[in-house]
Chains A and B, each alone.
Chain A
Amino acid sequence: RKEVEQDPGPFNVPEGATVAFNCTYSNSASQSFFWYRQDCRKEPKLLMSVYSSGNEDGRFTAQLNRASQYISLLIRDSKLSDSATYLCVVSRSGGGNKLTFGTGTQLKVEL
């Protein structure tokens, strides 16, 4: 079983749609959770951290369910510029700020 599992997609949605991605993680000792965004042929960049209470950043909402070990990302009012791959990321136990990356979910927003 992969440590972080995501549906690879692609998710093809029209502009203005709401889309949700989920991911599951296997290490119950993980303490920190993130969504990174990776544009085509570019490096990953942090989109947002994910907190147990849930958090929102503009059109983006992230949720964490520790009991079920899954993380979600909701994007409202999708824009063409949201087209990218979204990586679910969890911290590793043992310190050193090491992270485990999911393989990503591809989103394509269309006119």
Chain B
Amino acid sequence: DVKVTQSSRYLVKRTGEKVFLECVQDMDHENMFWYRQDPGLGLRLIYFSYDVKMKEKGDIPEGYSVSREKKERFSLILESASTNQTSMYLCASSLWTSGNNEQFFGPGTRLTVL
């Protein structure tokens, strides 16, 4: 079974703090994704990576950065957390093959910024 794990289920941070969210997958997937999910807005893509050290901006990259130093690990960084970044953050991974788009999600990290 594919397993995607995220470092924390719940996180509380203060405005201005630097926040690291970690994601690890164990199925040797090339693609990894970070989303945030908010009521009424659904899942929105923040960043995407298709290979080690490669990254691509998603729909809402402002205020975020990412790091992919190893194939299995994809980190999301909030450089200076703000209250509007309070959200559920979901990591996902998938194979790099055309026609196979199934994404496997981690359990999510609910981040609260005070």
* Contacts of B28-43 to chain A: CB distance below 8 A: 31, 33, 35, 40-43
**B94 sits at the interface (CB 8 A):** yes
Secondary structure of the A contact surface, majority rule: loop
Number of interface residues of B (CB under 8 A): 27
CA A45 – CA B107 in complex, angstroms?
Answer: 11
CA A99 – CA B50 in complex, angstroms?
Answer: 14
Partner of A103, one of B41, B98, B99, B102: B41
**B74 sits at the interface (CB 8 A):** no
Chain A residues near B20 (CB, 8 Å)? none
**A1 sits at the interface (CB 8 A):** no
The closest CB in chain B to the CB of A88 belongs to B42
Whether A34 contacts B101 in the complex (CB less than 8 A), given A42-B107, A43-B90, A97-B96, comes out as: yes
Band of interface residues on A = 10 to 19
Chain A residues near B58 (CB, 8 Å)? 98
Partner of A97, one of B35, B94, B106: B94
Most B C-beta atoms less than 10 A away, residue of A95, A98, A102: A98
Which B residues have a C-beta under 8 Å from some C-beta of A?
Answer: 31, 33, 35, 40-43, 45, 48, 50, 56, 58, 90, 94-103, 105-108
